[in-house]
Amino acid sequence: MSNSDPKTRPRPGPWPPVPESSPIPPSSWAKKTGFRPKFSGETNASDSGQISLPPPRPREPEAQPDLEAGRARPQPVLNGVPEREMATPPPAASAPSDKDNKVKRKKESDGGSKSAANGPHGANGQAAAGTTEPNSQPRRVARSEEVVDVLPHGLDDDGYVSRHSHMKYELRDTPGLVPIGLYGFQHYLSMLGSIILIPLVIVPAMGGTYEDTANVVSTVLFVSGVTTLLQTSFGSRLPLIQGPSFVYLAPALAIINSPEFQGLNGNNFKHIMKELQGAVIIGSAFQAMLGYSGLISVFLRLINPVVVSPTIAAVGLSFYSYGFPLVGNCLEIGAVQILVVILFSLYLRKISVFGHRVFLIYAVPLGLAITWSAAFLLTEAGAYSYKGCDINVPASNIVSEHCRKHVLRMKSCRVDTSHALRSSPWFRFPYPLQWGTPVFHWKMSLVMCVVSIIASVDSIGSYHASSLLVASRPPTPGVLSRGIGLEGLSSVLAGLWGTGTGSTSLTENVHTIAVTKMGSRRAVELGACVLIVLSLVGKVGGFLASIPQVMVAALLCFMWAMLAALGLSNLRYSEAGSSRNIIIVGLSLFFSLSIPAYFQQYGISPNSNLSVPSYFQPYIIASHGPFRSKNRGVNYVLNTLFSLHMVVAFLVAVILDNTVPGSRQERGVYVWSESEVAKREPAVAKDYQLPFRISRVFRWVKWVGI
């Protein structure tokens, strides 16, 4: 026999065996982006941007996990011995040890076959049938067979990787009505700041009263609930809450502070709101066309983590002029609000109450409740009452110098200045066109069309990140196109109802899913129904509208900082240590702050007396920008767009990332599921397929299906 021939019999190698020089498989962050590196991760970068590594370890066989069942992967073995046991010599006896039997029983109990439990080699070190020899090159995986890994993985005590071990409920889980109701309410309560704070900023800027603010807040709650139900049912079907996005806040403020609105008399709020509605409707219709026509699938080739990261980070960084300057109007309230939220979200984040990290999940509402209570006690104790001064008297009519000195402090620190709760009705149904017929101007609509592209970029990153947490695979380009198209229709509804901004998937939702460990679609849908019911109670909108402005600014400081960090977190899908990516992201962020500053400061003398508050001065660029052609509409569009930080960041990043050479793994190109492969997998079909056989309607449109 050939095995008995001393010439052909393999010689026993040194113990432990010499590691092979073949590449080890990619880590989990790289698998989900299709990364096939020559090295593995956490080491120092060389001068060329490549990773310097210790001597390579033995190649680990790639196992195909059952994505639907979530079965564990077999532990890598070499010559029949688990890799982590290679450092110790094996026992002399040929029979397996008790530990080996325990490992084998564990693998069999996890659903693995007998051959999988023993690894690619038999118990005696011989290669099993159908496995690759150690020195042979592995078969190249076809594109249709590529396995998209899912983040994150859990590691149990015996070293087995189990999928989704960190999630309590995944996408299609329905644990029961009571748990779903509690988790849905928890989900929306943790997102409270992202949903209600934008109306508290834009309505006072439009000259609206406290009653107008309460009505807009109720409208936002109603539209957010309806559009979330539409998105989870007929859009991407991911558990993403739809709401007023911060992406639309800067262009909305630019439109509000347009020169033609500065000299208005009468009810400025309704007039400006109708202008905003028209711009949002046109921009949202463009986004819907971009999604349902399939053009977004072509656009996906230009959108990678290196583009998404600085674009979304610039959204959060662009409001620095609004945040702390308003907090400074009542520092003892605003600063305490910020410190309490930081204390809960960072220092007390690991404290659990009944198995829930209450302080981390509810950092914003808990901080708001505590600070509001403290401010109420100070107000009732007379800390902000000044003799002879009335808060209800307009500042222009105040004669006393003593009262003029303290009027701003009284309005900022007192909690009884708003009469929204008292004047709000118990029942109010938000209806479309409640502010009047929208007014359409092409220059404002064109600005919103560009902003809708930025909103789509934001949603692309949210789809990818959330699918890795709760779904079996990332969505296909068709599902993504369907989601973007429905977001456009949702923003059209927001424009018709008059929320002042468009409706997109909230970026903060991804962080909420990771923190609450709840990714059930049903829980988000039930929470959306509760949101619709609350929107019909006028007192709820009045209560939220009565939040003091200094507390709103303090909470926004935290929310915008979170948004900037969540944007930069997309870099984990690429080679963050690459010199190419570092330069691109750095240039994008710097120019996103510097170029708009040039536009915002152009033509303004240092001693000029502007008619708007200092924190709104960056948004009056249309009246004094550097573009001064004969066409005022073109000047308005260009001056406004280049004064928006996110637009500049997107333009710089998308040009550099798509022109500077770089490999797919270095750029971190998003990997979307193949349509043909996804149709053959029951798990993917159940995750993303439209309900009620509606997919038959779109069968002829290949770019909006699975």
pLDDT at residue 102, rounded to an integer: 46
Distance, CA of 395 to CA of 408 (rounded, Å): 9
pLDDT per residue over 340-370, tens digit each? 999 998 999 888 887 778 888 888 889 999 9
| Angle at the Cα of 197 from the Cα atoms of 622 and 214, rounded to 5 degrees | 100
pLDDT per residue over 294-316, tens digit each? 899 888 889 999 999 999 999 99
Between these two residues, 454 and 94, which has the higher pLDDT value? 454
pLDDT at residue 116, rounded to an integer: 39
Token reading at 485? 């198209």
Average pLDDT over residues 50-70: 45
pLDDT per residue over 195-206, tens digit each? 888 998 899 888
Average pLDDT over residues 118-132: 40
Q: How confident is the model at residue 216 (pLDDT cuts 50, 70, 90)?
A: very high
Q: How far apart are the first and last CA of the chain?
A: 55
Kindly report whether the peptide bond that precedes residue 152 is cis, defined as omega within 30 degrees of 0: yes
What mean pLDDT is reported for the chain?
A: 77
Return the SS3 of 540.
helix
Residue with tokens 């970026």: 507
Average pLDDT over residues 423-437: 90
Res. 522: pLDDT tops 50: yes
Average pLDDT over residues 140-156: 40
Dihedral of the alpha carbons of 28, 30, 31, 35, in degrees to the nearest 10: -160
Q: How confident is the model at residue 282 (pLDDT cuts 50, 70, 90)?
A: very high
Q: How confident is the model at residue 608 (pLDDT cuts 50, 70, 90)?
A: low
Helix (H) or strand (E) holding 565, with range, is: helix 549-568
Between these two residues, 97 and 457, which has the higher pLDDT value? 457
pLDDT per residue over 270-281, tens digit each? 889 999 999 999
The Cβ of residue 443 has, within 10 Å, a number of other Cβ atoms equal to 19
Kindly report whether the peptide bond that precedes residue 251 is cis, defined as omega within 30 degrees of 0: no
Nearest-Å Rg of the Cα atoms of the chain is 29
pLDDT at residue 399, rounded to an integer: 55
Distance, CA of 686 to CA of 136 (rounded, Å): 39
Average pLDDT over residues 26-31: 47
* CB distance 211 to 220 below 8 Å: no
* CB distance 574 to 359 below 8 Å: no
Res. 438: pLDDT tops 50: yes
Res. 38: pLDDT tops 70: no
Residue with tokens 């008619």: 611
Res. 635: pLDDT tops 60: yes
Res. 71: pLDDT tops 70: no
Distance, CA of 549 to CA of 647 (rounded, Å): 28
pLDDT at residue 284, rounded to an integer: 95
Query: Among 36-45, 82-91, 583-592, which range has the highest average pLDDT?
Result: 583-592
Average pLDDT over residues 552-566: 91
Between these two residues, 599 and 178, which has the higher pLDDT value? 599
Between these two residues, 305 and 124, which has the higher pLDDT value? 305
Average pLDDT over residues 457-479: 90
Q: Which ranges of 389-441 does DSSP label H, i.e. alpha helix?
A: 401-413, 420-423
The residue ranges of DSSP E strands in 317-375, in sequence order, are none
pLDDT at residue 55, rounded to an integer: 53
Res. 209: pLDDT tops 60: yes
Measure Cα distances from 506 to 124, 231, 235 in Å: 55, 12, 15
pLDDT at residue 143, rounded to an integer: 38
For residue 255, count CB atoms less than 10 angstroms from its CB and return exposed for 0-12, middle for 13-18, buried for 19 or more.
Answer: buried
Q: Which ranges of 348-419 does DSSP label H, i.e. alpha helix?
A: 358-361, 363-380, 401-413
Residue with tokens 């006393």: 400
pLDDT at residue 264, rounded to an integer: 66
Domain layout of the chain by residue ranges: 177-568
